[in-house]
Structure 1
Amino acid sequence: MKIEALKKRLDRNRPMTSVTIRIPEDVIEDLKRLAPLLGFSGYQPLIRAYIGQGLRADLERFESETVTALIASLKRRGVSDEIIHEALNEVVHS
């Protein structure tokens, strides 16, 4: 994830929206029990943390798969490993 996008994700004052989701009662009870043990003020922040963790993992996985596919495509078109490496370094360090 790029630095600017990460900074936005860490902003506690970013806009929020309400959603309704059906979750089994026993799961909610477990979340309520675990939240304070994990340092959360309630079960809803814990749910948001769990969603955020899964979302970041999936975004990283799909972004990584896209970059890997792009590199393979460039190699098939004759772009050298050296040029690909230079381009990747430029993107990472910009």
Structure 2
Amino acid sequence: MKIEDLKKRSDKNRPMTTVTIRMPEDVIEDLKRLAPLHGFSGYQPLIRAYIGQGLRTDLERLEGDSVRALIESLKRHGVSSEVINQALREVAHK
């Protein structure tokens, strides 16, 4: 995920919307028990944290797949691994 996107995601005042989801009662009870152990004031912030964690993992995987596809395409077009690695190092340091 890009740094600009991460900064936007860390803004506590970004717009929110209400979502209704049906979940088993026992799952809610487990979330209520776990929330304070993870430092959350209630189970809803814990659910948001779990969703955010899974979302970041999937976005990183998606972006990583795109980068891998680009690298393979560049190799097929004759760009050397040395040039590709140099470009990746430059991007990583920005």
Q: Scaled by the length of structure 2, what TM-score is found?
A: 0.93
**2:36 counterpart of 1:36:** yes
- Paired residues in the alignment total 94
| 1:26-65 equivalent positions in 2, closer than 5 A | 26-65=26-65
Q: Percent identity?
A: 78
SS in 2 for 1:79: coil
**TM-score, normalised to structure 1's length?**
0.93
Q: AA paired with 1:85?
A: N
State the partner residue of 2:86.
86
The alpha-carbon deviation at position 2 of structure 1 amounts to 1.4
Q: Who is 2:74 aligned against? A: 74
Residue 24 (str. 1) matches residue 24 (str. 2): yes
- Compute the RMSD of aligned alpha carbons: 1.0
Structure 1 gap segments, 5+ residues each: none
Q: What CA distance in whole angstroms lies between the structure 1 residues aligned with 2:85 and 2:38?
A: 41
Whole-angstrom distance in 2 between the partners of 1:16 and 1:56: 18
**Counterpart of 1:72 in structure 2: which amino acid?**
E
The one-letter amino acid paired with 1:61 is R
Q: Which has the higher contact order (CA 8 A, sep 6+)?
A: 2
